[in-house]
Structure 1
Amino acid sequence: MTFSLVARCRDTGMFGIAISSSSPAVAARCAYVRAGVGAVASQNVTDPTLGPLTLDLMEQGMSAEAAITQVKKQGRFIEYRQVLAVDCEGRTAIHSGPNALGIWAEAQGENVASGGNLLANDGVPQAIVDGFLASSGHLGDRLIAAMRAGLAAGGEAGAVHSAGLKLVDKVSWPVADLRCDWTDGCPIEAIATAWDIYKPQLEAYIQRALDPRQAPSYGVPGDE
Structure 2
Amino acid sequence: MVVATFSLVARDPETGDLGVAVASKFLAVGAVVPFARAGVGAIATQSYANPRFGPQGLALLEQGASPEGVLEAFRRTDPGLERRQFGLVSAKGEALTFTGAECHPWAGGLSGEGYAAQGNLLSGPEVVEAMVETFLREEGTPFPERLLLALKAGEAAGGDKRGKQSAALLVVGEGKGYGGLWDRYIDLRADDHPEPVDELFRLLSLHRLLFERPREKRPLTEEEVRWLQRVLRAQGLYAGEAHGVFDRATEEALLALVGMENLEERYGGGPEVDEATLAYLKERYPWS
TM-score scaled to structure 2, two decimals? 0.70
Show CA shifts across 1:103-160 (max 9, x none): 1010112211100000001221121111101113211010011011111111111211
Pair 1:147-2:151 in alignment: yes
Coordinate RMSD, CA, aligned: 2.5
**Given the alignment, which residue of 84, 94, 98 partners 1:95?**
98
Residue 51 (structure 2) aligns with: 48
In the alignment, what sits opposite 1:161? 165
Judged with a 3 Å threshold, the aligned counterparts in structure 2 of structure 1 residues 91 and 208 are, in CA distance, closer, same or farther, namely: farther
Aligned to 1:182: 192
Letter paired with 2:131: I
Contact 1:34 1:55 in 2 (8 A): yes
CA contact (8 A) 2:86 2:99 kept: yes
| Alpha carbons of structure 1 residues 105 and 194: separation in structure 2 relative to 1, 3 Å | same
Amino acid at match of 2:213: A
Indicate the structure with greater strand content: 1
Percent pairwise identity: 32
Higher relative contact order, structure no. (Cα contacts within 8 Å, ≥ 6 residues apart): 1
Q: Structure 2: state its 5+ residue gaps.
A: 176-181, 215-262
| Stretches (4+) displaced over 4 A | 216-221
Task: Tell me by how many angstroms 1:67 deviates.
Answer: 1.5
Unaligned residue ranges in structure 1 (runs of 5+): none
Aligned pair count reads 219
Asked if 1 retains the 8 angstrom alpha-carbon contact of 2:38 and 2:91, the reply is: no
Q: 1:70, CA displacement in angstroms?
A: 1.6
Kept after mapping to 1: 8 A contact 2:84/2:99 = yes
CA distance in 1, matches of 2:19, 2:103: 24
Q: Equivalent residue for 1:173?
A: 183
- Could you tell me which of 86, 90, 93 is aligned with 1:83? 86
Q: Deviation per CA, 1:91-113, whole angstroms, max 9, x where unpaired?
A: 10122111112210101122111
Please give the TM-score of this superposition, normalised by the length of structure 1: 0.89
**What is the aligned partner in structure 2 of residue 195 from structure 1?**
204
Quick check: 122-131 or 16-25, which moved more?
122-131
Work out the CA distance in 1 between the residues paired with 2:148 and 2:76: 33
Superposed displacement of residue 213, structure 1: 7.0
Rg bigger for which structure? 2
